Amino acid sequence: MAQGTRAGRDGWRAVALLTPAFVGLCVFVIGPAIVSAFVAGTDKNLTGPDFHWVGTANLREALADPDLGQAVRNTLVYCLLTVIPSVLFGLLLALAAERVTRGRAAVRFALFLPASANIVAMAVVFQYIFDSSPDGLANTLVGFVGIDPVNWLGDRATALPVVALVGGWRLTSFVFVVYLAGLTAIPRSVYEAADVDGVRGLARLRHVTLPLLAPTTVFLGVFVTVLTLQTFETVAVLTEGGPLDSSTTIIYYIYKVGFTGSFRIGYASMIALLLLVAVVLVGAAGALLGRRVRMARQLGGMGAEDPVAEGGRS
């Protein structure tokens, strides 16, 4: 009887603790998502209260919209320029930071700073760095090798790469933190066994460290891709989608359609719904890939000892 009473009290405590979070989730996430899904099937405009149900008209328009197609291509190029380099450099920085003995805390803190910085504030800083004037920092540096000043943010050839550089700079710091946590979680006994078997250097990295970091790599690849698909702040501050929409991403295009110009919130909601579907598909693919990685490790016996033994044999 006493145990039942205690369990009842614990249940009410759990409900009391979860209720504020659940209410916030419904008000700020689930509710707006449902409203947006409904508005996506209408011709709703922010300039007036009237709207009409148009069914799949917004979907058909989105699939044939050349400006949206340009935004999708820009977003994919942005992903390509940020995801792979940030994961690669983040891993290299984590491996290097793990080997640091003196000033380890200071090095890790410095490498973590970009991930904790306000992206809008940092975008403003990079705007000054890539200023088109000859006195801009970037133009001063390229001037040392005889290159004329470049309009970094006003040229179609350089605008998107510069935006990707800023985004990749911050993402690399985040990737570094996650990889560092993954490296810290690897038992020291694994490396000690590797040393006993004569597995050192690149062989240890290939046969021990990277296999044990495979689930972390899958998570980072998916998570960073989802983040890049939602890029907005850096584009809004640095280029405003220009020049000639050469740096307009999907999220910034949604903002332009729904909150500037024509204020077509119905059409913007449909594009947002399509982006949501794409994000869910990426997440599902990542979950499937992560599951296969874990199953491969189990079936292949890739435990703490097997990668060492394999590296020793090679």
Tell me, yes or no, whether 156 lies in a domain.
Answer: yes
CA distances from 71 to 79, 162, 223, 256, 281 (A): 12, 16, 21, 11, 19
Quick check: is 11 in a domain?
A: no
* 146 dihedral zone (left: phi>0; alpha: psi -120 to 50; beta): left
Query: Domain for residue 56, yes or no?
Result: no
Task: Tell me if 41 is assigned to some domain.
Answer: no
Residues 174/175/178/182 CA torsion (nearest 10 deg):
-160
Give the pLDDT confidence score for residue 311 in this predicted structure. 42
| Structural domain total, the chain | 1
The one-letter code for the residue type at 77 is V
Query: Which candidate, 62, 65, 78, places its Cα nearest to that of 247?
Result: 78
The pLDDT of residue 295: 81
Is residue 31 in some structural domain?
no
Question: pLDDT tens track of the chain, all 314 residues?
Answer: 455 566 666 678 888 888 999 999 999 888 888 998 899 999 999 888 888 899 899 999 999 999 999 999 999 999 999 999 999 999 999 999 888 888 888 888 888 888 888 888 888 899 999 998 888 899 999 999 988 999 999 999 999 999 999 999 999 999 999 999 998 888 888 777 877 777 777 878 888 888 888 889 999 999 999 999 999 999 999 999 989 899 999 999 999 999 988 899 999 999 999 999 999 999 999 889 888 887 877 776 544 444 443 444 44
Is residue 7 situated within a structural domain? no
Res 307: pLDDT:
41
Q: How many CA atoms lie within 13 A of 72 on its CB side?
A: 13
Q: Looking at the DSSP assignment, which residues form a beta bridge with residue 28?
A: none
Residue 176 within a domain: yes
Cβ proximity of 311 and 204 under 8 Å: yes
> Amino acid identity, residue 283?
G
User: pTM here?
Assistant: 0.85
Query: Which residue range(s) make up the domain with 141?
Result: 61-313
Is residue 4 one of the residues assigned to a domain? no
Provide the CATH number for the domain around residue 196. 1.10.3720.10
Report d(CA 41, CA 43) in Å as an integer: 7
SS3 call for 42:
strand
